[in-house]
Amino acid sequence: MIPPGMHYIYYSALNKERERAPRTGFFHMFNKKDIVVRKWDPVNEELVIVQSQDQMERLKLNLESLDPFLGPYPYDNWKKWVALSSRLTVDVVTKIEPHQKQISSAANLIASEVQPPSLVAVKKRILRAEQENSLLPVLKEQPGTGLNFTPIPDSPFPEGATAAEITLHSLDTSYILEQLLSCWKTSNQLLGELQMAFLCFLVGEVYSAFEHWKKLVNIICSADRYLLRDSEFILDFIEDLYFQMREVPADFFVDIVSQNNFLTQTLRVFFDNVSSCEKADMKLKKKCGQLKQYVTEKFQWDFEDEPDDEAPVIVDLSEIA
C-alpha cells in the first residue's frame, strides 16, 4: 500500500545496547504493483538488492503470507512528503545519488598517502604538534559514495569581466544561477536538486547536503536580475522554501555565537530585491510577502531592522581636523 511516486527508505543498525549506527537510505520511484526486495547483510550491516528472479516470483505468489510481517505506510505524513518532494524525478535522483545508490549520513572516508615533511617546514622549525599533524593521512571521500550535487562555480563572474562587471556579479548572483541552470534540462530540475538536498539532510541526516542547500538558497535569493527573467521559477522556489520552513523547529537556524543566522540575512536580501523591483510581477510580490510574514511569525525574525554592517557610519569631522 505504498503510494506511487518517489520515496526515501532508510534504516540504521542497532547494537546490543540499542545504540543507533549512522543512518543509511536510498531513493526509489514506486510504480503500481512494484515489489522491491532487499536482504539484510549482517556483515556489512546494510540492505542489499535481491537479484534472484526465482525469489522475486515466489514472493509475488505469497504476498498474503507476508502481510503480518509488513508495516503500514504512514499516510499521516503523505501530504507533507509530497509537498517536499514534488519535483523529484528519476532523472534528478539518478544524477545526484551516489554511484552505489546508498546514501549514508556518515561520509565514507579513505586515507591518502602520507606526505613526508618538506625541507621548508624543517627549516622553519615548526612545532612538534604541527610536525605530528603533517604526518597524519589526508582523509577524502571514497569515490562513488558521496552525493553528486551540481558543483557551484568557483568564479562569480565570467572570464574577462571588467571591474564594473565584477562588482555587479559580486552583488548579484544571477550569473552563477544561470551556470547552475545550464547543467539541467529544465529549471524545475534545479529546484528538484534543492528539494533533494533538503530531504537528504532532513531525513537522511547528511550534513553536506544541508551545506549545499544553504548555498543554493543563497544563490537564488541573491539573483536580483533573474527576478524579471523567470518569475515562475522564483514563484516555485518560494513555494518549496515555504514547505521546507514548515519542517524545521523555530530555533534551528540560530547561530549560538552571534544569535544571527545565514537565512535571516539571505531572506532579507531576497525580500528587498523583490519589493524594490518595480517591474516584478504582482503575484510574485504577493507570494514573497506571504513567505516573509510566515517566517517572521514562526522564527520571530525582524526583517525591518537595518543590519549593523549596512547602517550609515557617522564620522566626527572635528576629530579628523
CA 261, CA 263: separation in Å to the nearest integer? Answer: 6
pLDDT value at 317 more than 60: no
Contact status, residue 7 vs residue 28, Cβ threshold 8 Å: yes
How much is the pTM? 0.84
Instruction: Tell which wins on pLDDT, 41 or 50.
Output: 41
Residue 184 burial (CB count, 10 A): 17
Do 117 and 217 belong together in one domain? no
Do 28 and 134 belong together in one domain? no
Contact status, residue 238 vs residue 287, Cβ threshold 8 Å: yes
pLDDT in the model for residue 199: 97
What is the average pLDDT across 16-37? Answer: 91
> In this structure, is residue 156 part of a structural domain?
no
CA 242, CA 288: separation in Å to the nearest integer? Answer: 10
Give the chain's end-to-end CA distance (angstroms, integer). Answer: 80
Do 168 and 259 belong together in one domain? yes
pLDDT value at 189 more than 60: yes
pLDDT tens digits, one per residue of 201-249? 999 999 999 999 999 999 999 999 998 899 999 999 999 999 999 998 8
Do 126 and 76 belong together in one domain? no
Do 167 and 267 belong together in one domain? yes
Contact status, residue 315 vs residue 266, Cβ threshold 8 Å: no
Do 174 and 300 belong together in one domain? yes
Instruction: Give percent of the chain above pLDDT 90.
Output: 52
Is residue 237 classed exposed, middle or buried when 0-12, 13-18 and 19+ CB atoms within 10 A define those classes? buried
pLDDT value at 318 more than 70: no
Q: Which domain holds residue 170?
A: 163-310
The dihedrals phi and psi of 74, each to the nearest 5 degrees, come to -75, 85
Count up the domains in the chain and report the number.
3
Do 200 and 254 belong together in one domain? yes
pLDDT in the model for residue 164: 79
Q: Which of 291, 182, 309, 276 is nearest to 234 (CA)?
A: 291
pLDDT tens digits, one per residue of 87-98? 999 999 999 999
